[in-house]
Amino acid sequence: MGDELEITLKVDADERVVGVGWQGQGCAISQAAASMLGEELLGKTLAEVKALDKEMLLEMIGIPLSMNRLKCALLSLKVVKAAAYGLDRWEDPGA
């Protein structure tokens, strides 16, 4: 069983994130990354959310990660990007 994550963004008329909710299960890294990212999103516009990158999230996490844990750490960012772009799911170009 892998990590599962659902993130809900509440966006105002100016396309600014005014609320973030998330639920899911997974390892400590994926849960911590989702929590930190949720705090970071508040007040950002959808354009700013779309511009977020993995380096920003990895800097927030602040610890070295193995390749296996990198996938866990980036799960929340992939989910948020899918929401910002209005996708039902993230299409990984590398898949």
Q: Which residue is associated with the tokens 């890294």? A: 29
Burial of 72 (0-12, 13-18, 19+ CB in 10 A): buried
- Sign (positive or negative) of CA dihedral 29, 76, 8, 10: positive
* Residue spans per domain, the chain: 4-85
Full DSSP string of 59-87: HHH-S---HHHHHHHHHHHHHHHHHHHT-
Average pLDDT, the chain: 87
46-59 confidence digits (pLDDT tens): 999 999 999 999 99
Average pLDDT score over residue span 7-27: 90
Answer for the pair 17, 89: CB distance below 8 angstroms, yes or no: no
On whether the 4-85 domain is CATH 3.90.1010.10, my answer is yes
What pLDDT was estimated at residue 82? 86
